[in-house]
Structure 1
Amino acid sequence: MRIKLTQDLICGQDTFLTGEEYEAVLILPRSTTVEFVANSGKKVRAFSYEYVEVLPATDI
């Protein structure tokens, strides 16, 4: 799934800004928490209130 951050995330030295998009996966099938890989290779988790799912135009 593709996500867009709705708020800034700060994880150690890494900062992820509102509006940035990432390819992410759900942690568990019934969870709304997702995990994505930063450019540094670090895995980052985002909660449902920190992102929105982005749908490609072909999916509409």
Structure 2
Amino acid sequence: MRIKLTQDLVCGNDTFLKGEEYEAILILPRSTTVEFIADSGKKVRAFNYEYAKVASATEI
């Protein structure tokens, strides 16, 4: 799923800014926590209050 960050995330030396979009996957089927891969190759997790789901063209 495609997500858009609703707040800045800081993970180690990496900073992910509000408004950036990423391709992410749910951690568990019933979870709202997602994981995406940063440009550095690091896996980053975002909680449901830190992102919004972006509708893709196939979902409309």
Query: TM-score under structure 2 normalisation?
Result: 0.96
CA distance in 2, matches of 1:58, 1:4: 17
- Structure 2, unpaired ranges of 5+: none
Give me the CA root mean square deviation: 0.7
Q: Which amino acid aligns with 1:57?
A: A
1:53 matches 2:58: no
Q: CA deviation at 1:58?
A: 3.8
- Would you say how many aligned residue pairs link Structure 1 and Structure 2? 60
- Percent identity, aligned pairs only, is 80
**Aligned ranges for residues 27-42 of structure 1 at < 5 Å?**
27-42=27-42
Q: Which amino acid aligns with 2:21?
A: E
CA offset digits 1:29-56 (Å, max 9, x no partner): 0000000000000000000000000012
CA distance in 2, matches of 1:58, 1:35: 21
SS in 1 for 2:24: strand
Q: CA deviation at 1:59?
A: 1.9
SS in 2 for 1:4: strand
